[in-house]
């Protein structure tokens, strides 16, 4: 994550720790049937049932395998969670379904998660 301010979060683990302090520790994950689910839930989400509140990108200095993106999301019931994905040649989600799903989620950037 590019950053010139030394007080801001710069690693995936730092951001995840800060989110956990705010009660955000559950993940939205796409299963093998290309269904997006909230951790410990049976609900299948459609992109319009989620909003991306913040996107964090992390790039490894020496290894392209260290590239990752973390999305903070909210569902229509107000549940907050995240999606974590490595990007580049080694995505956590093979195929185009995940990418299309993400592109279809509305984005409403929130300053609440600027840390």
The string of pLDDT tens digits covering residues 33-55 is: 999 999 989 999 999 999 999 99
Q: Beginning with the edge strand found earlier in the chain, give each strand of the sheet holding 44-45 in spatial order.
A: 28-30, 36-38, 44-45
DSSP 34: S
60-94 residue pLDDT tens: 665 555 688 999 999 999 999 999 988 765 667 76
Query: DSSP string of 48-100?
Result: GGEEEEEEEEE--SS-GGG-EEEEEEEETT--EEEEEEE-STT-SS-SHHHHH
Cα separation of 108 and 40, whole Å? 25
**pTM of this structure:** 0.83
């Amino acid at each position: 994550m590019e950053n010139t301010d030394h007080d801001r979060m710069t690693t995936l683990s730092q951001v995840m720790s800060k989110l956990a302090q705010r009660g955000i520790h559950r993940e939205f994950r796409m299963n093998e049937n290309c269904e997006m689910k909230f951790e410990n839930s049976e609900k299948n989400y459609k992109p319009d049932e989620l909003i991306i509140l913040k996107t964090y990108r992390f790039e490894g200095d020496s290894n392209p395998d260290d590239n990752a993106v973390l999305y903070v999301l909210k569902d229509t019931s107000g549940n907050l969670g995240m999606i974590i994905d490595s990007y580049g040649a080694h995505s956590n989600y093979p195929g185009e379904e995940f990418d299309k799903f993400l592109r279809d989620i509305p984005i409403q950037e929130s300053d609440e998660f600027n840390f």
